[in-house]
Amino acid sequence: MPKHRQPTPATRRARPALVTLGALTLLCTATGVALAATNAAEPSPIPSTVATTVAPTRDATEQPTATTTSAPTSNQTDTPANPANPATSATSATPATPATPRTQAGDGQTWLSGASGDGAADGTLGRWRSDPVGIVGTWADQGDNQTQLYAIAPGGEVADFNGAIDIAPGGLLEGDTWAAAATGSYDDRWRQSLTRMAALRAGKGTTYIRPFHEFNLGGAYPWAVTPDQASDFTTAWKRYRAIQQHVFPDAKLVYGVNVTSSGTDLDWRTTWPGAGQADVLGVDSYNGWPTITTAAEFDKQLDARGADGIPVGLNAYSDQAKTWGVPLAVPEWSGRAEMGDEPAYVTGMVDWFAEHAGHGPGQLVYEILFNAPQDDGNFQLFADDSRMPASAQAYVDAVASTEAGRAADDSSSSGESTAEQNEDPQPAPSTAGTATATTEPSRPMKDADTPASQADVDELVARLDVLLDRLEQT
């Protein structure tokens, strides 16, 4: 809903591409031993890690509405005094550590947790919340950006991110019509966009594509849909789907709507293209209209529905996704400073994600915190001068308390950037902060002198990065 800006590339160091399994194992083990020794002598509890994601900014003037809240949890000992201030947390050059698969206690389900905007792709937001990103969000919806895809092209903000991404490429430009789209007038442009996207994302994590995002929101985009355009929209969607399956079959198509149909009066259930035409139902939801201020209000709003039973609350959206046989995603969510600093909303959202995680119909497959600086930081939790410091702390706490359920993208061995994979391993310091790092699982090794595969290097260096981050914190 909020407008977005163009991303900027991040700088990273280089790592050697070929090392032996034995060398990496010894280095990680030595660091783990140091951590354990220091922890035994000088206890210093460190919160569980949390997964995150990043997303650049996009253009739109819509007003998002959100529907959830809950009470914040206790502060953590190793988070900055002002959790909204990245300058007091993790602003070093240490690269983002890829999220590792985790299982949600109780039902064995996982979800991808991410962010968009400042700090998402370069790892600083992940270190702030003490958990690396699992998915990032970005937009490519204005002008020639629909086909050039600057954010994921070389030099783009998320170009080097190898994990999962959610990308919103728009679809229609000023002057375009749904009637023309239904007859194939924009097929060539869509094919160009999707073909380039497939090439730029080759060998990386899952790409979730949200064409015509928030099409039920009036006055924001050229692709807004009114009830009288519903039939043409559905026909055009099927054309887009056919092209996507032909040129980028590995991608997932997200049928993404705004939480309410403001300005269009569209019942987006009537424009659903049918079985097999989309892979995920996505809903963008921000805190406002009504503003959630307490856990009780959050819980009450979960089952909310509008006219004719159209979903408004997250439970209602989950039920709709289950009816259609697809999982649910929340590609954009955050508080709204203009509505107040409401930590109950943030805690409620993260707790709901953990409780409904999974890949089956109606379950939450991923969510992305919107952290773009636009609108005078109206939506930012992670910022030097966040206007929602209490919400920022609630987010850090909630992420730590739900750590077990977050996961890395199953289709990619790492969310780390290619540049980060060439970074020089740093020698293990003689002191550390916690023994928990020594218990992190690793894949079975064959011969210690056998050259490590890239996957082995990624995994072991990621473990080392986590250990070194914790050493630096102490």
CA dihedral angle for residue 121, residue 125, residue 130, residue 136, rounded to 10 degrees: -40
Alpha-carbon span 341 to 360, nearest angstrom: 34
* pLDDT single digits (tens) 212-228: 999 999 998 999 999 99
Which among 216, 267, 210 has a CA at the least distance from the CA of 241?
210
- What's residue 405's pLDDT? 74
Say what the pTM is. Answer: 0.71
Q: CA separation (Å) from 312 to 69, 146, 259?
A: 14, 30, 6
User: What whole-number percentage of the chain has pLDDT above 90?
Assistant: 61
Per-residue pLDDT averaged across 44-65, rounded?
35
Answer with the residue of higher pLDDT: 59 or 430. Answer: 59
Domains defined along the chain, listed by start: 86-405 (3.20.20.80)
* pLDDT single digits (tens) 295-333: 999 999 999 999 999 999 999 999 999 999 999 999 999
